[in-house]
Chains A and B, each alone.
Chain A
Amino acid sequence: GDSVTQMEGPVTLSEEAFLTINCTYTATGYPSLFWYVQYPGEGLQLLLKATKADDKGSNKGFEATYRKETTSFHLEKGSVQVSDSAVYFCALSHTGTASKLTFGTGTRLQVTL
């Protein structure tokens, strides 16, 4: 079956540092890939997505590139802010079952001044 593996957290960074959160997946075919973010006490918010190989999703300074050859979708941001502190989830879904997301375990990011 499908699975998503994320790097263990928490990740602690100083403000303005470079962020990378690794995500790899196992799935048949060509899934769509997503990054969701969850702030304390809130639901999930879609951060970015990519639907085919070599697509780059981007939003609010975050980027991730769909790498079919390495089955990866790593999240990056050049300069993090304290307000980026949250839990980040990598996820995938298949065409035809777009509401059925398979999530990774989440990576907690803590950004300090």
Chain B
Amino acid sequence: KAGVTQTPRYLIKTRGQQVTLSCSPISGHRSVSWYQQTPGQGLQFLFEYFSETQRNKGNFPGRFSGRQFSNSRSEMNVSTLELGDSALYLCASRNGTGGSSLTFGAGSRLTVL
């Protein structure tokens, strides 16, 4: 069974640009969540999508957005990049039922210059 797949694995952008990251969840998983991991702030929840609807949201500015498609694949977008957006962005999926746990992907490492 394939795991959670994130693309691209590494990318470099400059300040002011925007970036789109992609996540393909485990087959059958309908919930996809995104996390930001930085040395200073640690792991922080960005948002969760379930059946194409945002179900939960963390405390991030509106520059951070996401969406989910009918096949459960998800994208997150960061606009007007800032140096502080440099981070490992982790996607996680679960089947959406009460007792299920998150399975994480390997992450997309974004560097903003």
Contact partner of A44 (CB less than 8 A), chosen from B31, B100, B104, is B104
Bin the interface of chain A by size: 20 to 34
Chain B 19-51 against A: per-residue CB contact (8 Å), 1 yes, 0 no? 000000000000101010000001111001000
**B87 near A: Cβ within 8 Å?**
no
A106-B31 Cα distance, complex, nearest whole Å: 25
**A89 near B: Cβ within 8 Å?**
yes
A18 CB to nearest chain B CB (Å): 27
A20-B104 Cα distance, complex, nearest whole Å: 25
A110-B31 Cα distance, complex, nearest whole Å: 34
Q: Is the CB of A49 within 8 A of B104?
A: no
Stretch at the interface among B60-68, B75-83, B91-99: B91-99
The B-contacting residues of A in range 57-113, CB under 8 angstroms, are: 89, 91, 95, 97-106
Q: Is the CB of B104 within 8 A of A99?
A: no
A106-B40 Cα distance, complex, nearest whole Å: 12
10 smallest CB-CB distances across A and B, nearest first, come from A43-B104, A103-B43, A99-B33, A44-B104, A99-B48, A43-B106, A100-B56, A100-B45, A105-B42, A43-B107
- Contacts A95-B98, A100-B48, A102-B45 aside, 20 further interface pairs with beta carbons under 8 A come to A43-B90, A43-B92, A43-B106, A43-B107, A46-B101, A49-B101, A51-B99, A98-B94, A99-B45, A99-B55, A99-B94, A99-B102, A100-B33, A100-B58, A101-B45, A101-B102, A103-B42, A103-B43, A103-B44, A106-B42
Contacts from B to A (Cβ < 8 Å)? 4, 31, 33, 35, 42-45, 48, 55-56, 58, 90, 92, 94, 98-107
